[in-house]
Structure 1
Amino acid sequence: MSSIADNIGSVTRRIQKATLKAGREPGSVRLLAVSKTRTADDLRAAVAAGQTAFGENYLQEALDKIDALADIAGIDWHFIGPIQSNKTRQIATAFSWVHSVDRLKIARRLNEQRAAELPPLNICLQINVNEEDSKTGCTLEELPDLVQAIGELTNLSLRGLMAIPDPDQPEAELRLSFRRLTRALHDLKAQYPDAGPLDTLSMGMSGDLEVAIAEGATWVRVGTDVFGPRPAKS
């Protein structure tokens, strides 16, 4: 069985190869290790292999791991799961990034609850790029109004967009989904130059990271290929 360190090395090489093939700058794509359901010891092994950015979906599980790993400096915690209104205070305090902001109400609560002594919270807006009924996220049509409103929230730094396209699409359609997100970010930068850095595309996972990188991803969210298969639920 491959170790977590071996897996990180393998995924990193895939990212580097795809970045080079796409003609992009080395280091322009970063690995976000999706660590939901993984143990604190798993994360320690990943940190020992040089991985410092972790994406968590479940708040209480994440808070337990943040506490367990408090002795390690430099871990970059990203919240990537659906956000309930009653959980925003803890998310605003414990994380440096939130990839899954999908409506203004959540953005406002995160802004109000971000402690003044902390730097602005980096956020990505989650886009339901295929407009699937089963997924959260704003539509591309709703996006400009949301960006304009968030531009007034001084405790947030709007970094870009996130999407989870249907992985069962044919590759050509998946590529088009990623391309829509890239085009949307480009349009926002032109239309709202003061809205935020707008430098981030969080898209691509274990099975499609090469396609995502070819279409502009800056963060790829990889879980299974870093930590191995998740244990079967009892």
Structure 2
Amino acid sequence: MNTIVQHLQLVHDRITAAATACGRREHDIQLLAVSKTKPAADVQAAYAAGQRQFGENYVQEAVDKIKALKTTCPDICWHLIGPLQSNKSRLVAEHFDWVQTVDRLKIAQRLSDQRPVHMRPLNICLQVNVSGEASKSGLLPAQVEALAEQVTELPGLRLRGLMAIPEATGDREKLGAQLLELKQLFDRMAEKHPQLDTLSMGMSNDLELAVACGSTLVRVGTAIFGSRNP
């Protein structure tokens, strides 16, 4: 477990160095620890080291962890960062704090309708397919504003920002162009929706570039918890 603590510190050091290199404040970039496929014990170890925000891809696996850690880690902020099917929307509305992968009005409406009235509105990021890949989920940039307008009308949701998974490419120039495109879209959106404060982009392999391009939240799994379990 000490390895997780050490890895967390190394990731924080990377964020600090990346922020300093581009003249940003390290506190303006949050770390989301991606704990998908990892046991609750790993989450608890990271929590003990001060980590509070965790990202999960698989709804049922995540709900099991949320229930298991409810007493020992009461103030974890849980983000869904994987695809969401309609038949799992109630579980998500009842257990998560954030959903970063909203790209359809139907899903947004279900989440709003199913959010328990005693809970705060569910924080939402719209997923953008910034690379335009046919195999990838997310809105095309030109579609984002229309869905944003609709989401802001739903009482059980709070629109917070944009999220993207850029193209898996070794071409840093191409990747940087996609990240900058998302930042420019975010800035335009924030002019119309001043509550937007979250630009979720950057992972273990490219967090430095993402920070340089304006990310406010990096999603890091492997660099904290090691390779994904099968």
TM-score bracket for this pair, using the shorter chain length: over 0.9
Distance 1:150 1:121 in 2: 11
- The number of residue pairs the alignment matches comes to 229
Distance 2:190 2:29 in 1: 19
Distance 2:97 2:55 in 1: 11
Shift of 1:2: 6.9
1:87-126 paired onto structure 2 within 5 Å: 87-126=88-127
* The structure with more helix, counted as a fraction of residues: 2
Give the corresponding residue for 1:159.
160
Letter in structure 1 aligned against 2:62: A
Distance 1:112 1:161 in 2: 22
Give the corresponding residue for 1:223.
221
What SS is found at the alignment partner of 2:62? helix
Please give the root-mean-square deviation of Cα atoms over the aligned residues, in Å: 1.3
Q: 1:214 aligned to 209, 212, 215, which one?
A: 212
Letter in structure 1 aligned against 2:96: F
Contact in 1 for aligned 2:32/2:220 (Cα 8 Å): yes
1:52-63 paired onto structure 2 within 5 Å: 52-63=52-63
Distance 2:179 2:2 in 1: 30
TM-score, with normalisation over the residues of structure 2? 0.96
Distance 1:24 1:104 in 2: 35
Shift of 1:144: 1.2
Shift of 1:24: 1.2
Residue 13 (str. 1) matches residue 38 (str. 2)? no
Give the corresponding residue for 1:189.
190
Distance 2:225 2:5 in 1: 9
Letter in structure 2 aligned against 1:184: L
Contact in 1 for aligned 2:18/2:208 (Cα 8 Å): yes
Contact in 1 for aligned 2:123/2:159 (Cα 8 Å): yes
Q: Give me the identity figure in percent.
A: 49
1:123-134 paired onto structure 2 within 5 Å: 123-134=124-135
Shift of 1:212: 0.3
Give the corresponding residue for 1:23.
23
Distance 1:75 1:145 in 2: 32
| Moved >6 Å (runs of 4+) | none
Letter in structure 1 aligned against 2:35: S
Letter in structure 2 aligned against 1:178: L
Shift of 1:173: 0.9
Give the corresponding residue for 1:201.
199
Contact in 1 for aligned 2:15/2:26 (Cα 8 Å): no
Long gaps (5+) in structure 1: none
TM-score, with normalisation over the residues of structure 1? 0.95
Contact in 1 for aligned 2:130/2:164 (Cα 8 Å): yes
Letter in structure 2 aligned against 1:174: L
Letter in structure 2 aligned against 1:92: A
